[in-house]
A and B are shown apart, each in its own frame.
Chain A
Amino acid sequence: MNSIDEIIEIYKRDVDVTLLDECLKRTVEERLQVLQDFGEAIDELRAQTVRARDKSS
């Protein structure tokens, strides 16, 4: 086993596989829709955070 393999194996210990299993219940199309929706939500949250920060300063 080389060092990269060892590092990757260590990372595997901390992966929440219950989240992976939830994701695998969806189709590919549904997973990409979730990614799109989540991205839009994050963008909106960022914009609102900036507005709130500007308002409070």
Chain B
Amino acid sequence: MTNLRDLLRALGSADVDFILVGGVAAAAHGSGRLTQDVDIVYRRGADNIEKLVAGLESFRPYLRGAPPGLPFRFDAATISAGLNFTLTTDIGPIDLLGEIAGGGRYEDLSNHSICAEAFGVQCRVLDLETLIATKRAAGRPKDFEGIAELELLRDRHKPGVQ
């Protein structure tokens, strides 16, 4: 499982613009479901990509599931040339997403996120309504149970929590 504390501290130290989405965002909203990896949507600006690379390169990111020895370089040129990356790192699996189904890019999502502090880092977390919408848009059967939980959380939402 991904070391969330080390990841958030690295991203915070590098001043990366990102939004927590997926299972960690669900946990932030009250889900009790375990998640194996951390999904983040990062801003696709050249400056932010440089910061992202600087923040994560010490964790030796590599393409998850790819055979060893591929000429993969975790650098700004690679991230700029691609969009979404599923990575294995020294602190566990991390998905770097330039865009998500049903939500779009960082700029589309930032107004649909909340600010939270975790492990001494201020970070953005996708809001509950948008998180549900993105999971519904993905349409994956494995998400249905999670969507049910998130919708119940939404129904039990207390002012000030989100």
B147:A8 contact, CB within 8 angstroms: yes
Contacts of A52 in B (CB 8 A): none
Across the interface, do B118 and A28 meet the contact criterion of CB distance under 8 Å?
A: yes
Chain A min CB distance to B157 (Å) = 8
B61-89 interface bits toward A, Cβ cutoff 8 Å, 1 = contact, 0 = none: 00000000000000000000000000000
Contact between chains at A43 and B1 (CB < 8 Å): yes
Please tell me if the beta carbons of B156 and A20 are within 8 angstroms of each other in the complex: yes
Q: B17 to nearest A CB, angstroms?
A: 19
Per-position contact with B for A16-57: 1 when CB-CB < 8 Å, else 0? 010111011010110111111011101100000000000000
For residue B101, CB closer than 8 A to chain A, the reply is no
Determine whether the beta carbon of B32 is less than 8 Å from that of A11: no
Looking at the assembled complex, report how far the CB atom of B107 sits from the nearest CB atom of chain A, in whole angstroms: 23
What residue in chain A is nearest B4 (Cβ atoms)?
Answer: A36
Q: Which residues of B contact A42 (CB under 8 A)?
A: 1, 34
Interface centre among A31, A35, A38 (most CB of B within 10 A): A35
Q: Pick from A11, A20, A29, A33: contact of B153, CB below 8 A.
A: A20
Q: Tell yes or no: B47 within 8 A of A by CB.
A: no
- Contact present for A31 and B145 (CB under 8 Å): no
Nearest-neighbor residue (CB-CB) of B116 within chain A: A28
Judge whether A15 is part of the interface by a CB distance below 8 angstroms.
yes
Of the listed residues A9, A20, A21, the one surrounded by the most CB atoms of chain B closer than 10 A to its CB is A20
- Given A28-B116, A39-B4, also A20-B152 (CB < 8 A): yes
8 cross-chain CB contacts under 8 A: A4-B136, A8-B144, A8-B147, A12-B151, A29-B116, A29-B117, A31-B30, A39-B2
B: residues with CB less than 8 A from A are 1-5, 24, 27-32, 34-35, 114, 116-119, 125, 136, 139, 144-145, 147-149, 151-153, 156, 158, 161
